[in-house]
Each structure stands twice: as structure tokens, then as C-alpha cells.
Amino acid sequence: MRHQQIFVNLPIKDLERTRRFYSALGYAFNPQFSNDQAVAMIISDDIYAMLLVEPFFQTFTPKAIADAHQTTEVLTCLSCESRAQVDDLIAKAKAAGGTIPREPQDMGFMYSQAYADPDGHIWELMHMDLSQFPGA
């Protein structure tokens, strides 16, 4: 199988608010794919979030755009290098105006928390230590 990348496309209401929020979490943007209708957030070498203002997002689908404050359209989970990195990113998200939709979950081998961005999109962050997996 050839090398693949993932592009998560999410509708947003306010481009500058979104850019400020994710910049506060330490993310960078690819200016080549960013303009006044979208920002391309770099998550890793192979993962990007295309944050598209709602009218532009609507051009890609005939369906109604979900209000992520009222419904769950997707849960995007990103792995972290450590529990401390999970906690650090959650603290940054909260300080930048994000909300925390649930309590942390600690399963021993996996630790996770989540934040919702200003548009209500939920991002889960988790650290997994498979050496602690039951039966490992």
C-alpha cells in the first residue's frame, strides 16, 4: 500500500478565532493551502485539518452542516507521546477558550482527555502504553 495522508475537513464560523485558538495550542498552518476561506492546520507530516468557513465548507456537500455544539459529527483522536503531553494540550486548549466535554479516562494502559474547540468539534488526546495492556 502506498504512503497515505489524512485531511480532516471541519466547518468553522470564524477563521481568525480558529487560527488564534489552534496557534495557542502550538499548531502551525500551511500558507500554501490557506486563504480567507480556509486554513490548513499541520498536525503531523501526514495529518492535516482543513478548517473551512461554513459557506466554503458547504460547497463540498449537499447535506446540512452539523452544529457541533448540539450534535456529534465526529470524534477525532490524536495520539500523544506522554500523559504529560495530553495534560499540557488540554490546559492550553482550556486557556485558549476551549471547553472540556468530559472527565479524563485512565484505563491503566491508556490515558485520554478531550477538548472542544470554539466551534464545538471534539478532539480526543490519548497516550497509550501497550506494555501495560492487560495480558501483555
Is CATH 3.40.50.300 what the domain over 69-136 is classified as, yes or no?
Answer: no
> What is the pTM (predicted TM-score) of this model?
0.89
Please count the helices (runs of H) and the strands (runs of E) in the chain.
3, 8
Asked, colleague to colleague, whether 1-61 and 69-136 share their fold, the answer is yes
Q: What is the CATH number of domain 1-61?
A: 3.10.180.10
Grid coordinates representing 43? 498536525
Q: What is the pLDDT of residues 83-133, one digit of tens each?
A: 999 999 999 999 999 999 999 999 999 999 999 999 999 999 999 998 887
* Per-domain residue ranges of the chain: 1-61, 69-136
Q: What is the pLDDT of residues 1-58, one digit of tens each?
A: 677 899 999 999 999 999 999 999 999 999 999 999 999 999 999 999 999 999 999 9
Distance of alpha carbon 81 from alpha carbon 46, whole angstroms? 17
